[in-house]
Amino acid sequence: MERTLSIIKPDGVGKNIIGEVIKRFETNGIKIAAMKMIHLSKSQAQGFYAVHKERPFFDSLTDFMTSGPIVVMVLEGEDVIAKNRTLMGATNFKEAEEGTIRREYATDIEKNVVHGSDAPETAAFEIGYFFNELELHSR
Ligand code: GDP
């Protein structure tokens, strides 16, 4: 059993597709082990995306991530890191597979609706950034 962090970004929350995203997880056998809605401060967004701090889009990305509330979730299931990445689609929605979340709902390489951890180490850091052990519910 594996865990990953999923975020519905401010554009996804703004588009009123929280349920649509969650439905895709649940219909694909993924369980939600934790969930909450939060509004990140700039420094919280910078901390979350610290690996990208040298990238030219870091300031813009962290501004976007603080532009409205987000939904953070811990997803659980077999091979869930890769499964979630498949359901999300490529970072650039123009290159994302037909039927993926980003292909259907993203409008921009930055405003791409969802985040998902890309490896077990990043998943552990990202889950710990938002949740403590008492908030995680394996089912
Ligand atoms: P992800 O793992 O698919 O989310 O992609 P990355 O880890 O490479 O990038 C993190 C996030 O930064 C992406 O989801 C986008 O929101 C944003 N991003 C990535 N590449 C670019 C870019 O070239 N320009 C801008 N403005 N944002 C980007």
Q: What is the pTM of this model?
A: 0.98
- Order across the sheet with 31-38: list the strands: 31-38, 70-77, 2-8, 114-116
Active centre residues (catalytic): 115
Tens digit of each residue's pLDDT (9 = 90 or more) over 43-95: 999 999 999 999 999 999 999 999 999 999 999 999 999 999 999 999 999 99
pLDDT attached to residue 109:
97
**How close is the Cα of 93 to the center of ligand 1, in Å?**
11
State the closest ligand 1 atom to the C-alpha of 85, by its place in the atom list counted from 1: 3
Are 81 and 120 a contacting pair, CB within 8 Å? yes
104 Cβ inside 6 Å of ligand 1: no
Tens digit of each residue's pLDDT (9 = 90 or more) over 27-47: 999 999 999 999 999 999 999
